[in-house]
Homo-oligomer: A and B are copies of this chain.
Amino acid sequence: MLRGYTLPQTPSGRSALAPRPPWHYAGNCLAIEFEADAAAVRSLLPAPLDFASARCAAYFIEWQCATDDGEEPLDPVNSQYKESIFLVSGRYRGEEVAFCPFIWVDQDASLMRGLVQGWPKQFGSTWITRAYPLSGKASAQHAPGGRFGASLAAKDRRLADARVTLQEPTRSPPSPSFANAVNVRLFPNLARGLHDQPAVCELVRLKSRDVQIGPILKGPATLDLHDHPRLELSMLRPLSTGSGYRFSFALTVDDLETLEELRSR
């Protein structure tokens, strides 16, 4: 009998691209709040979501991931990846939510786990300044005065450049936040005549547990989004930029709530 949470399936289940949940994550995050064009934000919301505001956030994260056996971080090519997430604001049945129109990762297992959760993941190259517990020109500090940058590229073109200068501690993480994100799970059909009728299309609410957040520092930030002939991230080009944030966090994912079947639309 074949096993595997995803393909490929084998008798052991060990070869599957995404292992069976739970998935435990730890990440160092650089985030920037910004305001985009309201019409652009509105146009990127899937039908069941209403426009709430033009407030957006970009997250650049250096992740490590493990299953329950916890061995993956010891062969870290199987565990580490970097990710750039863009969130917009929306409203679902009156409640404020976050929605992700664009996200890029650099490992296949992360892409697969993401598709299962409705994250619209593609491959991209993310770089994020690292903090070191030492002083010197090469050592950014997770402390007031620390300066951090991040970049995103896809298909050999730069898509985003971010800069944050840490200034002060805060207890409020950036917003919109993926803590209250809703996604669209979409799995298309290929049979002729069904290209517009996906096999799966549903609005889902992400669930995470055992969330930990380390000390948060914030300060002034800049964010530039660049045009790309195919990838439309620059629809969200900032009209104004709010604060930047840096913090570490950890969480576990092994559940998801389906809000609405969207196939009939």
A211-225, CB under 8 A of B: which get 1 and which 0? 010100000000000
Report the nearest B residue to A161, measured CB to CB. B75
Q: A70-B137, A190-B117, A212-B135 are in contact. Are A76 and B149 (CB under 8 A)?
A: yes
Q: Contact partner of A76 among B133, B150, B250, CB < 8 A?
A: B150
Which one, A60-68, A89-97, A237-245, is touching chain B?
A60-68
Does A258 belong to the interface (CB within 8 Å)?
yes
A237 to chain B, nearest CB (A): 14
Q: A26-B138, A101-B10 are in contact. Are A151 and B5 (CB under 8 A)?
A: no
Which one, A11-19, A51-59, A167-175, is touching chain B?
A11-19
A127-154, CB under 8 A of B: which get 1 and which 0? 1111011111111100000011111010
A227-265, CB under 8 A of B: which get 1 and which 0? 001111001000000000000111011111110000000
Chain A positions 8-39 with a Cβ under 8 Å from a chain B Cβ: 8-12, 14-15, 17-18, 20-21, 24-28
A114 to chain B, nearest CB (A): 9
A88-119, CB under 8 A of B: which get 1 and which 0? 00000000000001110001100100011111
Spell out A's residues near B (CB within 8 Å): 1-2, 5-12, 14-15, 17-18, 20-21, 24-28, 43-44, 46-47, 62-68, 70, 73-80, 101-103, 107-108, 111, 115-123, 125, 127-130, 132-140, 147-151, 153, 155-158, 161, 163, 184-192, 195, 199-200, 210, 212, 214, 229-232, 235, 248-250, 252-258
12 additional A-B pairs beyond A134-B212, A136-B250, A157-B157, beta carbons within 8 Å, are A2-B47, A8-B103, A10-B43, A11-B43, A24-B137, A74-B148, A77-B125, A108-B111, A136-B212, A156-B158, A158-B158, A199-B199
